[in-house]
Amino acid sequence: MRRSLEGAFREFAEARAGQLFRSACLLTSGDVHLAEDLVQETLGRMYVVWGRPAVRGGNPAAYAQTVLVRAFLAHQRRRSTGERPTEELPEPAGGTGGGGDASLRLTLLDALRRLPPKDRAVVVLRYWEDRSIEETADVLHLSSAAVRTRCSRALARLRDQLGGSIGEFAAH
């Protein structure tokens, strides 16, 4: 039985690691090292509870996303005040030949980084993970009204930062 559980977990981890990493990159505003750490922490926590029927029998992918967001928020709470991101991003690998997509991606990640962690988590869950307001509220331990408020405020901040329309960035 133990081997079948480990095999099932291994299959799950291999199938979901990429999606978890992409979500973690958005949550961390492009900090791939922290994103990798969060994915490892998430998979470690999932391994511990994998034998529980509620995890395997329910929706383990959604459970993993919940664990990821909670690990991110916990990290934000205990983050050292001595470390701060810089205003200028380093030159991307390969020069500027990436075109508009790389510029757009960096602009969006920078705008996400400027949001408070819970607002960033709400935006990622609602618009990247396409979760409902109720699901987002459950993951973040908030009321549905609080999710709506945070979402509205976060989107307004993003619009302010991005000049009102994302279309102008997509054209570049």
* Predicted local distance difference test score (pLDDT) of residue 129: 86
* Predicted local distance difference test score (pLDDT) of residue 21: 95
8-21 per-residue burial string, b: 16 or more CB within 10 A, e: under 16: ebeebbeebbebbb
Alpha carbon distances (Å) from 145 to 25, 78, 126, 134: 27, 27, 14, 9
| 55 has pLDDT over 70 | yes
* Predicted local distance difference test score (pLDDT) of residue 95: 47
- Mean pLDDT to the nearest integer, 141-153: 92
pTM of the model: 0.59
pLDDT tens-digit map of 58-71: 889 989 999 999 99
113-145 per-residue burial string, b: 16 or more CB within 10 A, e: under 16: eebebbbbbbbbbbebbebebebbbebbebeee
pLDDT tens-digit map of 75-120: 888 765 445 566 665 555 444 444 557 777 788 888 888 899 889 9
User: Tokens 């511990």 belong to which residue?
Assistant: 48
